[in-house]
């Protein structure tokens, strides 16, 4: 760290940053990723403190929805007021949704007569976008405007032609804001989708984006952001460019990665989403070994390396190659050319998805892409300034969080077992420490097996009176005690040091267990089935915001949100109930048989079982006490009681 230099970015050929945004797996359901959050992200990027004529913003809408296009069209008009406002008053953060939300009310220091007209303008726009999203179609009178005619009836998110629309053409003298200043280029794109063609998920969308942007702006630096993150710092582009432009050390830097932070984590981080320790301990550690992985969002890349370029001595001389800006063509010619680059068949018989662009056929495509870049000789850099650059929305229900971790752990486990394992791919190319760093995450998924073992077997043995661990007073107990204490005390200190609370640490321990028994376990099984060729790859979406008003209240009060029937919840409840039964049954038989004096051989098991019961306390609440909509449904209670009792009876029989 600390490699950043102060440096002006104007005037250098390299400073033509291109910002492009990726709208993630935008589902058909506008509720899942509300349009207003998406365009707030876009507006925050358009308002970067950076010369607008050198900035181009692309929204890749993987659902190809006219509603998203409409929202972006509204944003392109609102930007004409928002951008000069941001610059005049030095507003931060520049996402209007975040700025006007209750979390950062503009405040007393800033005269309301200055910002309230802007707030009204924003709310009017938000209302229009919301009501159009509710209706599910755009007003008739808009159809005459450029762009809207691209949509015809019968088009769906899975079946539509390529669409590219330049909403603001930065080269055009007429594209100016309300103060007469230039605006950044703004482009909407949706690649062609046909049911018979595989679309390769986010990696496919990113590769389409790389090609479209090469046609329209072709800037040498690309930032990609997921649509659920907004820029919290208008200086981030300049900060990141300092690394690329460093005259002494910048020449071998392939990408600059900002860590992922979230702006709606509750005080004690109920679902352990904050990544505080990973962001502030793991990633700087990897940075020291040659660079952090590419995390898929909040990352600046050199365009050339996404085209598969190897690092070499000749790199310096080629700096200016390939950044000729298309000035001769007019916007509609550019749009037509760009469309031809994102058809379903464009990539056939090319290296896209293999040697060029983001890698296909793995859920953790970003990690592999980053590793391949590092193996081609490039370094990456972690940049983590105190004021966070990008803030995202963390999952606010248990199911969302578990699904997210399933995807992550499964992706990393698949990498570990494939030819892209860092030990194989990186051998002799990246440092051993970095290879090991990549593999830690790959071991999350298989870790579910020993965790499940420790959650179930010692408790069942306790019930039967079988001792598995050394007596608590025997010297053989010392290694167990040392490892258990050492690990947890160390983790606790680390967590407290990097901003977690004590209760937050306890919540994280619970989440580790819940993830291990569900996300990681499913990830392991899916990966193994896939290796055996039994199941096809699945990629689940997380819903971003819960619809029920009470659900968000419960989230703020840190009450775990179940609410739905899921096999994951059954597993969680069975583990909790089984341990409760074993603890009660085991202690009972100790007392009844008068063996209470012979506690020592079973002491560690009793302790373990009691801790498991204690950490599952919110699960018991949801099973038996809570009556709200977010508690466990009766079917889950019924099934889990059945399974746990069965296991209990079989054991004591
Ligand atoms: C989290 O984000 C959602 C959606 O943006 C919002 O409704 C909720 O109030 C936020 N919660 C917290 C605690 O920040
Ligand atoms: C986001 O930016 C604001 C100022 O714009 C700052 O007060 C806040 O601390 C930042 N958030 C984080 C998490 O750094």
Q: Encoding tokens for residue 71?
A: 């929202």
| DSSP 8-state code for residue 628 | S
Note whether 333 and 171 are within 8 A (CB): no
Structure tokens at 193: 């989708």
Express the helix, strand and coil content of the chain in percent, nearest 5 each: 55, 10, 40
Determine the distance separating the centroid of ligand 1 and the alpha carbon of 503, expressed in angstroms: 20
**Least confident residue range of 39-48, 122-131, 276-285, 353-362:** 353-362
| Ligand 2 atom 8, closest CA | 387
- As to burial, measured by CB atoms within 10 angstroms (0-12 exposed, 13-18 middle, 19+ buried), residue 515 is buried
10 Å Cβ neighbour count for 566? 18
State yes or no: 249 annotated in a binding site. no
Task: For residue 287, say whether it is annotated as part of any ligand binding site.
Answer: no
Q: How far apart are CA 560 and CA 640, in angstroms?
A: 18
Beta bridge partners of 368: none
Give the Å distance between the CA of 232 and the centre of ligand 2. 6
- 254 pLDDT more than 90: yes
Q: Considering only residues 257 and 18, tell me which one the structure prediction assigns the higher pLDDT.
A: 257
- Whole-model pTM: value is 0.88
Q: What is the reported pLDDT for 261?
A: 93
In this prediction, residue 533 carries a pLDDT of: 82
Q: What is the rounded CA–CA span in Å between residue 36 and residue 142?
A: 19
| Reported confidence tier of residue 238, pLDDT bands at 50, 70, 90 | very high
Task: Sort 152 into a burial class: Cβ within 10 Å, 0-12 / 13-18 / 19+.
Answer: exposed
Q: 445 or 1: which carries more pLDDT confidence?
A: 445
Closest CA to 302 of 243, 389, 363: 243
Distance 383 CA to ligand 2 centre (A): 16
Both tokens assigned to 31 = 């509720």
What is the spatial distance between Cα 433 and Cα 284, in angstroms, rounded to a whole number? Answer: 12
Catalytic position from the list 169, 287, 366, 500: 366
> Given 3.90.550.10, 3.10.450.50, 3.30.360.10, 3.20.20.100, which CATH number is that of 3-260+295-394?
3.90.550.10
| DSSP, res 591 | H
Alpha carbon distance 595, 589 (integer Å): 8
Angle at 130 between CA 128 and CA 133, to 5 degrees: 110
CA distances from 368 to 140, 358, 379, 414 (A): 46, 8, 14, 11
Nearest atom within ligand 2 for CA of residue 261: 13
**Predicted confidence (pLDDT) per residue in 636-648, tens digit:** 999 999 999 999 9
The helix/strand/coil state of 446 is coil
Across the range 456-464, mean pLDDT stands at 93
Give the residue with greater pLDDT, 76 vs 14: 76
HEC letters along 265-309: CCCCCCCCCCCHHHHHHHHHHHHHCCCCCCCCCCEEEEHHHHCCC
The pLDDT, as a whole number, for residue 263 is 85
Task: Find out whether 202 is annotated in a ligand binding site.
Answer: yes
- Sort residue 156 into left (φ over 0), alpha (ψ -120 to 50) or beta: beta
**Over the stretch 494-528, which tens digit does the pLDDT of each residue have?**
999 998 999 999 999 999 999 999 999 999 998 99
The mean pLDDT of 393-399, rounded to a whole number, is 88
The predicted pLDDT at position 34 comes to 80
Ligand 2 atom with the smallest distance to the CA of 92 is: 5
How high is the pLDDT of residue 247? 86
Beta bridge partners, 586, equal none
Cite the DSSP H helix spans in 498-597. 502-515, 521-531, 549-556, 567-592
Query: Which whole number is the average pLDDT over 276-298?
Result: 92
Cβ neighbours, 10 Å, residue 321 = 9
CA–CA separation, 353 vs 306, rounded Å? Answer: 10
* Ligand 2 pocket member 510 (CB < 6 A): no
Q: What is the pLDDT of residue 465?
A: 86
Q: Which of 359, 27, 19 is nearest to 217 (CA)?
A: 19
The reply to whether ligand 2 has any atom less than 6 angstroms from the CB of 630 is no
Is 314 considered catalytic here? no
Q: CA angle 531-537-541, nearest 5°?
A: 140
Task: Quote the longest CA-to-CA distance of the chain.
Answer: 93
Q: Is the pLDDT of residue 23 over 50?
A: no
Q: Would you kindly state where each structural domain of the chain is located, as residue ranges? A: 3-260+295-394
Q: What is the mean pLDDT of residues 109-132?
A: 85
């Amino acid at each position: 760290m600390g490699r950043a230099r102060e440096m002006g970015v104007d005037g250098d050929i390299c400073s033509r940053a291109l910002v492009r945004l990726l709208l993630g797996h935008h589902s058909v359901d506008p509720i899942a990723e509300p349009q207003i959050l998406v365009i707030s992200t876009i507006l925050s990027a358009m308002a970067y403190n950076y010369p607008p004529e050198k900035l181009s913003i692309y929204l890749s809408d993987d659902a190809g929805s006219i509603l998203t296009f409409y929202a972006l069209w509204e944003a392109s008009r609102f930007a004409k007021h928002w951008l000069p406002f941001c610059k005049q008053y030095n507003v931060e953060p520049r996402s209007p949704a975040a700025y006007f939300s209750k979390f950062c009310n503009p405040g007393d220091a800033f005269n309301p007569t200055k910002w309230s007209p802007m707030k009204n303008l924003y709310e009017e726009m938000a209302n229009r976008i919301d009501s159009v999203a509710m209706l599910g179609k755009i007003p008739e009178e808009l159809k005459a405007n450029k762009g809207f005619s691209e949509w015809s009836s019968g088009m769906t998110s899975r079946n539509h032609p390529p669409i590219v629309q330049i909403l603001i053409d930065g080269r055009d003298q007429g594209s100016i804001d309300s103060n007469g200043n230039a605006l950044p280029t703004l482009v909407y794109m949706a690649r062609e989708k046909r049911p018979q063609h595989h679309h390769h998920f986010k990696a496919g969308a990113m590769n389409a984006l790389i090609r479209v942007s090469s046609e329209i702006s072709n800037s040498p630096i690309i930032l990609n952001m997921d649509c659920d993150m907004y820029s919290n710092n208008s200086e981030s582009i300049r900060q990141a460019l300092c690394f690329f432009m460093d005259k002494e050390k910048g020449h071998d830097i392939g990408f600059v990665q900002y860590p992922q932070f979230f702006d709606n984590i509750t005080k004690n981080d109920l679902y352990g989403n904050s990544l505080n320790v990973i962001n502030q301990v793991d990633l700087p550690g990897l940075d020291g070994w040659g660079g952090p992985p590419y995390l898929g969002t909040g990352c600046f890349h050199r365009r050339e390396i996404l085209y598969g370029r190897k690092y070499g001595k000749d790199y310096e001389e080629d700096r200016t190659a390939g950044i000729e800006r298309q000035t001769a063509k007019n916007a509609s010619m550019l749009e037509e050319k760009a469309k031809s680059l994102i058809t379903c068949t464009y990539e056939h018989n090319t290296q896209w998805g293999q040697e060029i662009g983001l890698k296909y056929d793995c859920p953790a495509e970003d990690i592999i892409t980053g590793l391949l870049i590092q193996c081609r000789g490039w370094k990456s850099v972690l940049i983590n300034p105190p004021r966070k650059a990008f803030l995202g929305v963390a999952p606010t229900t248990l199911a969302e969080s578990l699904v997210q971790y399933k995807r992550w752990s499964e992706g990393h486990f698949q990498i570990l077992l494939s030819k892209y394992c860092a030990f194989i791919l990186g051998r002799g190319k990246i440092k051993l420490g970095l290879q090991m760093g990549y593999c830690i995450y790959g071991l999350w998924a298989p870790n579910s097996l020993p965790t499940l073992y420790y959650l179930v077997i010692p408790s069942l043995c306790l019930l039967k009176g079988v001792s598995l661990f050394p007596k608590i007073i025997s010297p053989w107990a010392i290694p167990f005690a040392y490892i258990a204490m050492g690990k947890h005390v160390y983790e606790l200190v680390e967590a407290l040091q990097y901003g977690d609370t004590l209760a937050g640490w306890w919540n994280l321990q619970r989440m580790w267990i819940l993830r291990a028994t569900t996300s990681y376990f499913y990830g392991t099984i899916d990966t193994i089935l896939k290796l055996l060729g039994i199941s096809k790859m699945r990629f689940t979406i997380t819903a971003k915001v819960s619809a029920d008003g009470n659900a968000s209240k419960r989230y703020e009060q840190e009450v775990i949100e179940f609410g739905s029937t899921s096999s994951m919840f059954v597993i969680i409840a069975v583990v909790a109930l089984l341990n409760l039964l074993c603890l009660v049954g085991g202690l009972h038989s100790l007392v009844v048989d008068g063996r209470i004096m012979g506690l020592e051989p079973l002491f560690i098991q009793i302790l373990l079982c009691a801790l498991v019961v204690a950490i599952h306390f919110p699960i018991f609440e949801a099973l038996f006490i809570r009556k709200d909509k977010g508690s466990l449904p009766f079917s889950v209670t019924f099934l889990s009681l059945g399974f746990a009792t069965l296991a209990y009876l079989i054991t004591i029989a």
